[in-house]
Amino acid sequence: MEIDRPDGRSANQLRPLACSCSVLHRAHGSSSWAQGETKVLAAVYGPKAGTKKNENPEKASIEIIWKPKSGQIGKVEKEYEMILKKTFESICIRTIYPNTTTTVIVQVLHDDGALLPCAINAACAALVDAGIPLKHLAVAICCSVTDSGCVLLDPTKDEEEKLKAFANLVFPNAIVSVLPDRSLKVGTEPMAHGIMTSVTQGAMSGILQHFL
Amino acid sequence: MGLPNTFEDLSSEMEVDAFRRLFPLRYFERHLAESIRPDGRPLGKARETSIFLGAVSTAHGSALVKIGSTTMLAAVKMEVMSPSLESPDEGCLAVDFFMPPICSPIVRPGRPAEASPVVSKQLSDTISSSKMIDLKELSLVSGKAAWMTYLDIYCLDADGSLYDAALLSAVAALSHLQIPAVAMNDDGKIVLVSDEDGQKRAQEPVNKEKRKLTLRSIPFSLTCILHKNYILADPTAEEESIVETHLTIVLDTSGQLISLYKPGGQVLAYTSAIQDCVALTRQRVKELKSLLDKENSAMEV
């Protein structure tokens, strides 16, 4: 079904992506990631010795510090910090540097929709830039769902306000390797189809039938 | 058992409690291989659940919910406020989730638990996106007065599946909520009508008698943990600490998907795993709905 989007994109068209790495000199790794007008800057410091309380000292831990564009951090930012932490803990090879903490600082420069996926992409690029050992990359996308069940990718702020239901999904990247094809498949699905992180908002009426 | 069990010999010699503490993952996997969980449940079964309505007599609606030993106390308090200019004929609902140090050894006094703002945000998202409550119903006089509804949830015992228990207690407290009777006096102020001065009903009644809030479709949730190919419903705190992959599905009574929440984790969720979790959640929604209906009808008798 054709849907008119204000900026003339088709339903599954992303906004132009822009990424530059090593933009900060003092950080061990940094990147700036833009999806259209949404722009996030991420810096990685570490691994530093020691872990915080309540963390498993037998594994490397990741600390996320979310800096909003303005104002203090609230519940939303706390939730984002937790989601980023859990997501990156699942892609880092955490047994290599036990009892260390890697700090990722995420600075929002501008929010024009799809902020969380943009931040995940930025932080992932910064981790790669810092040379933190990762199992695979994390690729994040925001899908908004219209009332008729159509999916629009990478919504802008205006679209986010109009459409009430959206899902932020994170997938692993498709690994190109010399291993036999079968080892990268789980059942009938390729590995890159497995959802790593999913955060949804709003009731999605037409979506459930896909899972029945 | 097919597991590369290097601790096999050790485990047969060691005391069970010591083995459980020293090799929690191994202990856990030994159970899973037998299709049973450390607390004796089958994999897809949730713990025993109970709802007690009206636990707080001073609140307008309250509920005490237990899922296994996870205990949540939810209470609703209503106040009259003047509505905002943007939405003059809507009331307001504020959800807050607290984890006092009593609930878990991880929570230290003075410092709020990391989980509490996250659960609190999830709860208010779920309640608003399920459209369970029509905020227009909380309006008293358009542009002048509306109900400000505070929904506070206290975790008394945190033994896993906090979000499920918190959502169930929130929903139960809202279903138990009695909106107090109020009237507008001559000065245009809203005053509570108490039962004694029934004869002084000369005041313009705004909300004639106590009434219940209409809940359109009620959201219920189930958290599953994914470990290898196993799906375990309703984990305890011990299981949550061993396995990192959690998947929470919220469905409402009309069968809509309200939320699919998976913050990271080692195991990737493929369509088949999500299908299984949705099937478990549907079953759980039915159970919880009949439990809540039973409690509510018991209150009315």
What is the rounded average pLDDT for all residues in chain B? 86
* Total of domains in chain B: 2
B96 and B198 share one domain: no
Q: What number of H helices and E strands is found in chain B?
A: 7, 15
Return the residue of A nearest to B252 by Cα. Answer: A203
Q: Is the dihedral of CA A87, A92, A96, A100 positive or negative?
A: negative
Both B229 and B296 in a single domain? yes
Q: Do A198 and B270 touch (CB under 8 A)?
A: no
Contact list in A for residue B129 (CB cut-off 8 A) is: 164-165, 201-203
Across the interface, whether the CB atoms of B270 and A199 are under 8 A apart is answered no
pLDDT 10s digits, A81-136: 999 999 999 999 999 889 999 999 999 999 998 999 999 999 999 999 999 999 88
DSSP category for residue B102: G
> Are B223 and B161 within 8 A, CB to CB?
yes
Q: Which helix (H) or strand (E) holds A136?
A: none
The answer on B170 and B207 residing in a single domain is no
Residue B13 lies in a domain: no
Residue B157 is part of which domain span?
45-177+213-300
**Tokens 């025993």, residue?**
B48
- Judged against a pLDDT cut of 70, whether residue B247 lies above it is answered with yes
One domain, residues B231 and B272? yes
- The reply to whether B26 falls in a domain is no
Measured distance CA(A51)–CA(A168) in Å, rounded: 29
Considering the domain architecture, whether residues B206 and B251 belong to the same structural domain is answered as: no
Interface test with B, best of A53, A90, A92, A144 (most B CBs within 10 A): A90
pLDDT number for residue B2:
44
Q: Which amino acid is at A8?
A: G
Amino acid at the residue B240: E
Predicted structure pTM score: 0.89
B234 and B223 housed in the same domain: yes
A174 reaches B (C-beta below 8 A): no
Residue B58 lies in a domain: yes
pLDDT digits (tens, 9 = 90+) for A45-78: 989 998 887 788 889 999 999 999 998 888 899 9
For residue A80, the cross-strand partners are none
The pLDDT of residue B288 is 94
CATH number belonging to domain A17-135: 3.30.230.70
B1 pLDDT exceeds 50? no
C-alpha B204, offset from chain centre: 38
- Beta pairing partners, A66: A106
Q: Which pair of structure tokens corresponds to residue B174?
A: 């809202």
Share of chain A above pLDDT 70, in %: 89
Domain with residue B146: its CATH number is 3.30.230.70
Domain map (residue ranges) of chain A: 17-135
Per-residue confidence band for B111, with pLDDT thresholds at 50, 70 and 90: confident
Instruction: Quote the DSSP letter at residue B135.
Output: G
User: Which pLDDT score is estimated for B277?
Assistant: 92
Q: Is residue B219 part of a domain?
A: yes
Give contacts of B245 with chain A, Cβ < 8 Å: 90
Both B227 and B86 in a single domain? yes
The DSSP 8-state label assigned to residue A112 in this structure reads S
The predicted-structure confidence for B50-104, as pLDDT tens digits, reads as follows 999 999 999 999 999 999 999 999 999 998 888 888 888 888 999 999 999 999 8
Q: If 0-12 CB within 10 Å is exposed, 13-18 middle and 19+ buried, where does residue B57 land?
A: exposed
Say whether residue A211 is in contact with chain B using an 8 A CB cutoff.
yes
- Considering the domain architecture, whether residues B49 and B116 belong to the same structural domain is answered as yes
B264: chain A residues, CB-CB within 8 Å: 83, 85-90, 170, 196-197
Same domain, B161 and B231: yes
Does A128 reach chain B within 8 Å, measured CB to CB?
Answer: no
**Domain membership flag for residue B36:** no
Residues in B touching A207 (Cβ below 8 Å): 257
Tell me the chain B residues in contact with residue A196 when contact means C-beta distances shorter than 8 Å: 262, 264-265, 268-269
- Residue that is last in its domain, among B212, B235, B260: B212
Q: Within this chain, do residues B50 and B153 fall inside the same structural domain, yes or no?
A: yes
Q: State the complex-level ipTM.
A: 0.88
Residue-wise pLDDT for B192-243, tens only, equals 776 554 444 545 556 556 778 888 889 999 999 998 889 999 999 999 989 9
Q: Which among A67, A75, A70 has a CA at the least distance from the CA of A43?
A: A67
Instruction: Give dist(CA B245, CA A212) in Å, integer.
Output: 22
Which of A76, A186, A204 has the CB atom closest to B270's CB atom? Answer: A186
Instruction: Tally Cβ neighbours within 10 Å of residue B131.
Output: 17
CA distance A9 to chain B (A): 27
Region for residue B231 given its phi and psi (left: phi exceeds 0; alpha: psi -120 to 50; beta: otherwise): beta
Instruction: Give the 3-state secondary structure of residue A86.
Output: helix
Mean predicted confidence (pLDDT) in B248-273? 88
- The one-character DSSP state at B195 is S
Confidence bin at B291 (pLDDT 50/70/90): very high
Q: Is the pLDDT of residue A187 over 70?
A: no
Looking at residue B271, its pLDDT comes to 86
Same domain, B249 and B266: yes
* Residue scoring higher pLDDT (A31 or B269): A31
Mean pLDDT, residues B273-292:
92
Q: Collect all residues with Cβ–Cβ distance below 8 Å to B269 and sequence separation of at least 6.
A: A194, A195, A196, A198, B226, B245, B247, B262, B277
